[in-house]
Structure 1
């Protein structure tokens, strides 16, 4: 993990915990685990696979507070791996932190958001230990609240810093402002107007182009007994330092339908400009209502490139939460059209299936399968990845448990013209400070 990423992320996490602690209202959940792993292709090479035994230890945590003065959610995970030959031992981590500190009630607050992720260095290569880097996106700034008759106003100012451990062209400093006006019709519906502007200054302008982005859009939200939805509609403009300009409609839809208390179907549609830093802040795990203690450090599938792209995405998901059986299915399709020609456009498709089944009060079986297809249009090649996992967990007490898991990874690369196969077994014991 890069020292810069560690330093910035620890500052954000420490700030959130320090501010939340005096109120004695913060909830802290954590899990400590350790075990032994067997990997039959630890370097993820298409030939001459290297089989190794790996000793592992990890710490995951979630700190939350929802008070009148502080609203905070900090989810993090650190994993240590001790390789038995060849590869360097080390720590990999992730952090998703959100903090809103109210300085003057209904008038002034200060918001910090930090997203530390593990990303691929070479987007066309397999997810090997030596093809990973820490990427950090930090956003901070004040919020000024005011009223204009029946309208609630919010003026935001943000400084955003982006850093990658290896991909230096991603490094940048950004400043932005946003004006938001909202009219609440009742407890279930509201209409808002949003105007936001961001100026991006890259550290290496020869590899990435400085630009300004302006978004203007209206947002309508409504929650009903069984249906909730939010619609954004507007327009975006890009102004580059070299004189080039781009513009595009901005359309987003998030909708959910609840069938009873156990089933929910959700739909998400998007047509907009985006980039890797913007997407990291939008996808932050800490700010979600269902935030939990991270069970592992995952490598994000996004591409860490500085170029802005036009995103077209559709995703459909179904969640079922039964007394003994839980199920989640999600399918998505998206197109990424990069503004800069040096980055190949992508057509992506994906399918996820995850389930849990409680065999007995203290025994849980879980399984999941993930399929992904990425077509690189200018390269005329497609990468296909398949991931399948299965785990069995036994709870010995309310806090202690033991798990055995199996994971298989298959990747067929049309870009590198190779095939990679990997099988991983992991046996570990964990301690949770709060029972599930």
Structure 2
């Protein structure tokens, strides 16, 4: 059901462009298929079950930068057939799609965004196939643009947001957002803005929790230089729950990127803000995503394809988020690598069961053995402390992948990985080895 919703969102973005835009846009795709073997598909502590999984799938991207319509779509649709286990076959979809239709030039736009993903049903349980669900967050609405001079402009936005999960009803909600923004150009590369937003959140399930309103006011500064960019936000947020409680906190966000050379780049981002699962699952799609390879990459939860099972707690509660991430990337002629540490602390407002502190990071290295052969190594590590229930999970995943390009359209790929979790919660430690072999056809 949700897979169809996610695909429908991508189709909606594409159809809104009309025949002219489809011809002018850039559409790319790849088809892949292979066999994955797991020696512990259910991620069990003491009863490992082996399984062979047949995985066909497709990746697709669409980029349109027209004067009337702009679209940026990237997605994966994957089917998983469990040949030697008791799990049901599943279709998994990941999608990040944004579209903007200029109704009246320089006056009125209509925007659409859709984000679909795979998330756990119970985030405290291991990520077995029967503990996965599809999520979807759809946003749409008009944007009114105003001009007050050569250097100052305004913007009024009205958006409807619908969040949906295939198994957890508490996540399902409808939201209305009204925002007013005033922009001031202080240089050709620097902009400062004053922003006021109000949001009303209504849950479809009465037992999910209290409906609430969220009001925010903040100043934002952005700078885009040739080798440096910055996005800084400072303000204040207030939550007003229907059951009578209120919460107020400062709002701080920062993202800084620096490219000292053509091969090296640094990035750091942080946040101190109220957030929830719907906001976490609707991260804006970067246009640079479309420049990445369409083939399945290393370091993913599934070696077979591109769908990645995240660890977001899919529920209705709001949390105070403290987050800090950094990254360094090097892109050489033959050697490329990325290192990315992270820190995250979540404090839930109404139910503190999932209060957590996470520390970890990831690293990936790719070496071009020949112009048509790549060898990759990858590793991720995370220590997650649940503060209220006194639980600690330590999870490691590492492995290697080999890819051989046969022609301009065909390639094959093999990968092996090991994942292990040590937990002080009963029945939550496990070990798993995975092997995958498959082929990819790229348009």
Q: Shorter chain as normaliser: what TM range? A: over 0.9
TM alignment of 1:219-258, pairs within 5 A:
219-258=220-259
Q: Distance in 1 between matches of 2:222 and 2:384?
A: 33
Structure 1 residue 417: Cα displacement: 4.8
1:80-135 CA distance string (max 9 Å, x none):
12211322122111111111111111111111111111000110111111110001
Q: Distance in 1 between matches of 2:341 and 2:201?
A: 33
1:343-383 CA distance string (max 9 Å, x none):
33111112110111100011001121010111000011111
Q: Which residue of 2 is the match for residue 273 of structure 1?
A: 274
Q: Which residue of 2 is the match for residue 264 of structure 1?
A: 265
- Residue 105 of structure 1 pairs with residue 105 of structure 2: yes
Q: Distance in 1 between matches of 2:309 and 2:428?
A: 21
Using a 3 Å threshold, how does the CA distance of structure 1 residues 134 and 73 change in structure 2: closer, same or farther? same
- Residue 22 of structure 1 pairs with residue 1 of structure 2: no
TM alignment of 1:32-431, pairs within 5 A:
32-85=31-84, 86-149=86-149, 150-281=151-282, 283-284=283-284, 286-291=285-290, 292=292, 293=294, 295=296, 296-431=306-441
Q: Distance in 2 between matches of 1:158 and 1:361?
A: 48
Please give the TM-score of this superposition, normalised by the length of structure 2: 0.94
Q: Which residue of 1 is the match for residue 302 of structure 2?
A: none
Q: Distance in 2 between matches of 1:288 and 1:305?
A: 29
Deviates more, 1:328-337 or 1:80-89: 80-89
Q: Distance in 2 between matches of 1:201 and 1:29?
A: 38
Q: Distance in 2 between matches of 1:15 and 1:287?
A: 20
Q: Distance in 1 between matches of 2:249 and 2:4?
A: 37
- Whether contact under 8 Å (2:72, 2:99) holds in the other structure is yes
1:125-183 CA distance string (max 9 Å, x none):
11111110001111110101011233211111010111111111111111011111111
Please give the TM-score of this superposition, normalised by the length of structure 1: 0.95
Q: Distance in 2 between matches of 1:262 and 1:187?
A: 26
Using a 3 Å threshold, how does the CA distance of structure 1 residues 298 and 232 change in structure 2: closer, same or farther? same
Deviates more, 1:156-165 or 1:340-349: 340-349
Using a 3 Å threshold, how does the CA distance of structure 1 residues 108 and 416 change in structure 2: closer, same or farther? farther
Q: Distance in 1 between matches of 2:426 and 2:173?
A: 30
Q: Distance in 2 between matches of 1:294 and 1:199?
A: 40
- Whether contact under 8 Å (1:257, 1:266) holds in the other structure is yes
Q: Distance in 1 between matches of 2:254 and 2:129?
A: 37
- Whether contact under 8 Å (2:412, 2:440) holds in the other structure is yes
Q: Secondary structure at the match of 1:126?
A: coil
- Whether contact under 8 Å (1:75, 1:294) holds in the other structure is no
Q: Distance in 1 between matches of 2:342 and 2:104?
A: 42
Q: Distance in 1 between matches of 2:295 and 2:208?
A: 35
Q: Distance in 2 between matches of 1:11 and 1:417?
A: 39
Structure 1 residue 225: Cα displacement: 4.2
Structure 1 residue 342: Cα displacement: 4.7
Q: Secondary structure at the match of 1:356?
A: strand
1:209-251 CA distance string (max 9 Å, x none):
1000011000111233432211100000000111111100001
Q: Distance in 2 between matches of 1:6 and 1:358?
A: 36
- The match for 1:13 among 3, 10, 14 is 10
- Whether contact under 8 Å (1:125, 1:416) holds in the other structure is no
Q: Which residue of 1 is the match for residue 301 of structure 2?
A: none
- Whether contact under 8 Å (1:61, 1:294) holds in the other structure is no
- Whether contact under 8 Å (1:257, 1:265) holds in the other structure is yes
